[in-house]
Amino acid sequence: MRKNRAASSPEVRGRRFSLRFQLVALMLLCYLIPVFVLGFFARHVLRYGLQEKVEAALVSSAQHAWTMTCQNLDRVVSLGQETVYDEELAGAWAKWRASSVSNAEFLQTSRNYLERKFGRDHLFTFASFLPVADQELLISNPSGQLAASEFFRQDYSRVLRAAENLDTRSLFLGSGGQLCYVRNVMNLRLEKTGVLILGLDQSQLFSPLWTLRDSWNGEIRLCLDQFGNTDTDWESLPAGFTDLPGEKLIRYVQADAAGDYELRLSLTLDRTEQYRDLYFFQNLSIGLYLLLIPLLILIILFVRRRLIRPISLLADASRRIEAGELGVTVPMRGGDELGDLGVAFSGMSVRLRDLIEKTYQGEIELKNAQIQALQSRINPHFLNNALETINWQARLEGSETISNMIGALSVLLNATLARKNRRIVSLREELEVAEGYIYFIQQRFGDALVIRREIDPEAEKCILPLLTVQPVLENAVEHGIAPAGGGEIRLAARAAGSCLELRITNTGRSIQPEDRARIDAALAGETGESSHLGLANIANRLRLLYGQRARITVSGGPDLETVVEIHVPQDEA
């Protein structure tokens, strides 16, 4: 074992080769290896890498310009569709055909609509409507009157021919500096009422493509439906990026015919101009070979110290953040790009932690704002009925009844408008509001209405959203007692463990089959049915405050009664 170690020691190896040979060989290796590596790297890796970067940059720029242009076109199509769907033009046309409005009124209505819809949008030079009954009658928005007249002097017959074959589709057409969008205006019975023609500003519509052309110093060919280079054989042009060294050209082609229009784009560039940096680099790399050898070791050390280590620190910190450790920082200072990146990374990590905390708090504030918005809605029907009752009573007697009614109304207004800025109250306070309402309805119905109360004293301490009981009582009166001409309302409340249970029963008109769908929509929180706005408001507020743990139901009880049950959790404020 000792002999083997001795045989492999540096001293023994040094006897085989002289120190000079080792130094010369090391120098040659240090020179030849980088030369071969850099030569291969310069010819293949850098060359193709630069080509790929040019291709990627061109494709990215072209796709971005394409997307922005398509967004402009989609906006034109969308506004054209809205013009058909909102039926304002079709409705005005129907009234005009039925002689419900005069020619002047029809023209004024149509012009005002076109101006309001398209007059302030820079994409449009004019907006015109040709009624189907009189295609010689050109209706244009006032701000685009001159542009529309100029356009129709040249392309009027072409537009009419195109509109005859469109049905419900749309079309872009034009020639030279003129471009328009054509769409038939239909009514609900799919009857053609006229033709919508929108003049388009090419400098605005195709601005992203012109910017692409100027930034790359290239040539663009464009075809949009029946506008642009329609004589080009687009089918023979391969889609995407194509390098044509023989023709010294680079071409990018993109086409899309899947939407409401057919758009084709071809961007042609000078290959020599785009790759001139590559040709310059090939000549320069030969001279750099002589300088790279003495700098190689320094470069490696520099790269290790200034690039690899900082990147490793950033990668390790990123993994820690990914594992859930927020607020991680790296020991890097500014002075260069990587140092600035390290400082920015540390600041971003800290801000991310703060942002998550603020986002959580923001969600709570948003929830409170939603509750306030729902609670602030007022039912004007009750206010009108209350004021009418006060007016009626004032005419009949000069007693203190009016004072009592005004006092009750004051309680109701304070609760309805949330003047004390409280959204959660005790049942005792809520019942005070309900009693104010009960006072009014008893003045209205007299002996025809009986109110019975079954309130558990412990339940009065429970809390619930403001204006929960009074809207239910109002629904019972409006939909049950009033249609029946009278009846009985029973208000019951009890504390059942960690839940407040409210039960409001009325013996008036029972729930009809046609009422069920509207009641279910209101309980789901939909406010489209105004007659059940109170139920929808209560359901929305309970859902926002307590989620699925709160419950409100409306059902038919025995003897054709209508029963509303509300369960409000009490285990949290």
Nearest to 339 by CA among 310, 296, 380: 310
Tens place of pLDDT for every residue, the chain, 573 residues?
Answer: 444 444 444 444 444 554 445 545 666 676 667 667 666 666 666 667 777 888 888 899 999 999 999 999 999 999 999 988 888 888 888 888 888 888 889 899 999 999 999 989 999 999 999 888 776 778 899 998 888 888 888 878 888 888 888 888 899 998 667 899 999 998 888 888 889 999 999 999 999 999 999 999 999 999 998 898 888 888 888 988 888 888 888 899 988 765 688 999 999 998 888 777 766 766 676 776 667 667 656 655 665 676 667 777 777 888 888 887 877 888 877 677 777 877 887 888 888 887 776 666 556 555 654 555 555 554 545 655 665 676 566 656 665 666 566 666 666 666 555 545 677 889 999 998 889 889 888 888 888 999 999 999 999 999 998 889 988 998 899 888 988 888 999 999 999 888 999 999 999 888 888 888 888 888 886 765 556 667 888 888 888 888 888 999 998 866 678 999 999 998 754
Domain 33-274 has CATH 3.30.450.20: yes
Q: How far apart are CA 264 and CA 59, in angstroms?
A: 15
Q: How far apart are CA 203 and CA 124, in angstroms?
A: 11
pTM: 0.45
SS3 137: coil
Which residues in the chain are classed under CATH 3.30.565.10?
Answer: 376-569
The answer to whether 303 and 296 have CB atoms below 8 angstroms apart is no
Between the alpha carbon of residue 498 and those of residues 30, 428, 466, 467, 569, the distances in Å are 82, 17, 19, 21, 6
Per DSSP, the residues of 512-561 read PHHHHHHHHHHHTT----GGGHHHHHHHHHHHHHHGGG-EEEEEE-GGG-
Eight-state DSSP code of residue 480:
I
Name the CATH topology of 376-569: Heat Shock Protein 90 (3.30.565)
Sign of CA dihedral 173, 177, 178, 181: positive
Q: How far apart are CA 518 and CA 532, in angstroms?
A: 7
